[in-house]
């Protein structure tokens, strides 16, 4: 019986992480789109996907939630871990996207102390600050709101919603990849 509870808890944790991925990927896309609109004065679909998600933000948030779960309330530690984790993650994503598609979605070449234009010291510090804001302010708020929503939705319906979101995401990744591979 205890193993069943542990398995269910693992499934619940995975379900929550998947939902967090989608929430933060959407928030990231929204922020990027607003930023691009302010810079260019027109709508620009930011990110890799056709749909309204920036997976780098979703994965980044989930990575930080997992890494910083026990560091809440320790901003120095949160900052340092966020800087290191996001910088490594951003570099890897940039490298992989360029290796696969021959394109760059961002370029920090003109920034002070950048590494191959993939990461820069300034953005690393921004990611560090955003990590603290995420763990101390945004994630507790998002987590509470999602818990309220979850209480009103049957677990089976929640699973169906997650499956649908994942299927749509996979279709979007495939369609977007085909689009960029044609370039």
Residue-level pLDDT, tens digit, the chain, 183 residues: 444 444 458 888 899 999 999 999 999 999 999 988 998 888 888 778 999 999 999 999 999 999 998 888 899 999 999 999 999 999 999 999 999 988 888 899 998 899 999 999 999 999 999 999 999 999 999 999 999 999 999 989 999 999 999 999 999 999 999 987 875
Both tokens assigned to 129: 């600050």
Dist CA 52 CA 47 (whole Å): 9
Question: Structure tokens of 123?
Answer: 């953005």
Q: What is the distance in angstroms between the CA of the first residue and the CA of the last residue of the chain?
A: 54
Question: Which of 165, 182, 183 has its CA nearest to residue 51?
Answer: 165
**Both tokens of residue 5?**
């509870």
Q: Residue 16 corresponds to which tokens in the numbers above? A: 């929550």
User: What are 120-126's contacts with CB under 8 Å, separation 24+?
Assistant: 123/90, 124/83, 124/86, 124/87, 125/83
- Tell me what pLDDT residue 146 has: 93
Q: Domain count for the chain, please give it.
A: 1
How much is the pLDDT for 7? 46
Helix, strand, or coil (residue 119): strand
Residues 6 or more apart whose CB falls under 8 angstroms from that of 104 comprise: 94, 97, 98, 117
Amino acid 183: pLDDT = 58
Range(s) of the domain holding residue 81: 2-181
């Amino acid at each position: 019986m205890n193993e069943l509870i542990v398995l269910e808890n693992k499934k619940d944790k995975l379900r929550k992480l998947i939902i967090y991925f989608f929430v933060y990927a959407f928030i990231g896309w929204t922020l990027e789109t607003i930023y691009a609109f302010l810079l260019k004065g027109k709508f620009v679909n930011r990110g890799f996907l056709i749909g309204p998600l920036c997976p780098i933000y979703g994965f980044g948030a989930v990575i930080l939630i997992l890494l910083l779960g026990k560091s809440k309330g320790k901003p120095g530690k949160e900052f340092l871990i966020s800087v290191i984790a996001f910088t490594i993650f951003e570099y890897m994503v940039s490298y992989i996207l360029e290796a696969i598609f021959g394109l760059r979605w961002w370029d920090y070449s003109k920034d002070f102390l950048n590494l191959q234009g993939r990461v820069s010291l300034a953005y690393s510090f921004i990611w560090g600050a955003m990590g603290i804001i995420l763990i101390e302010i945004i994630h507790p708020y998002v987590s509470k709101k999602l818990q309220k929503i979850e209480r009103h939705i049957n677990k089976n319906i929640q699973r169906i919603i997650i499956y649908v979101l994942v299927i749509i995401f996979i279709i979007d990744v495939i369609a977007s990849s085909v689009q960029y591979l044609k370039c």
